[in-house]
Amino acid sequence: MNRQIYAMIVFVAAIWCQTACGNRETGHSARPTEETPLADSKFLKDAAGNMIKKDGWFSTNFKRGKRLRLKSEQMLTVDGRSILIEVSGYEYPNPLIIEDAFGDYDFGAKFGRGVSTWGTEFRGKHNSTPYCINLILHMAYPPASGDNGFHNHGISSRYCDADGDGIFETRAGENFRTPAWVK
């Protein structure tokens, strides 16, 4: 797929993610304290429906390539502060590999390992690290059954650092909001 089409797909995914990666109107909790273990003990689900993987979804030691764009937007954190968020698209020269990319969701076992070479990163104006990364994931290995939709076209997913420890432990759902640690 040529880079312009792929960049457009990433841009559309970023637009979709804007309101979900931060809330401009209310300060909903980013990570309620109640967590429920799922069938597979490496995954937890919080009260807001976000899936948590305690050791993180991917290594935070990855290389960013060229920044494709930069946009700023005003958001509210969960504690009600208004902050400026920078939204940047990046190309990853070494693909990000996400084991169990969709966790314990119904199609998670079928999808398996995910690979991404593009992402949209969300960070506070005064933070050097992102709090959320929206990725277009492709199946690392095409399915033997010939159902190549996820492999060829990919699927969007958000991974966030809800507590500021530098680990992207949260696979964000609709109710994830900008964490209080973001400045």
Confidence (pLDDT) at 121: 94
Under a CB-based contact definition with an 8 Å cutoff, are residues 168 and 161 in contact? yes
pLDDT at 68 over 70: yes
* Confidence bin at 180 (pLDDT 50/70/90): very high
CA distances, 68 to each of 90, 120, 155 (Å):
6, 9, 20
Rounded-to-integer distance, Cα 93 and Cα 67, Å: 12
Interval 95-137: pLDDT, tens: 888 877 776 665 556 667 788 888 999 999 998 889 999 998 8
Rounded-to-integer distance, Cα 49 and Cα 108, Å: 16
C-alpha gyration radius of the chain: 16
Residue 168 tokens read as: 């992207």
Interval 145-164: pLDDT, tens: 655 555 566 778 899 999 99
64-69 long-range CB contacts below 8 Å, 24 or more apart? 64/90, 64/91, 64/92, 65/90, 65/91, 65/92, 65/93, 66/90, 66/91, 68/7, 68/10, 69/11
β-pair partners for 171:
51, 159
| % the chain with pLDDT above 70 | 64
> Where is pLDDT greater, at 140 or 39?
140
CA distances, 109 to each of 19, 100, 101, 126 (Å):
28, 7, 9, 38
Q: What is the mean pLDDT of residues 43-67?
A: 86
Helix (H, G, I), strand (E, B) or coil at 18: helix
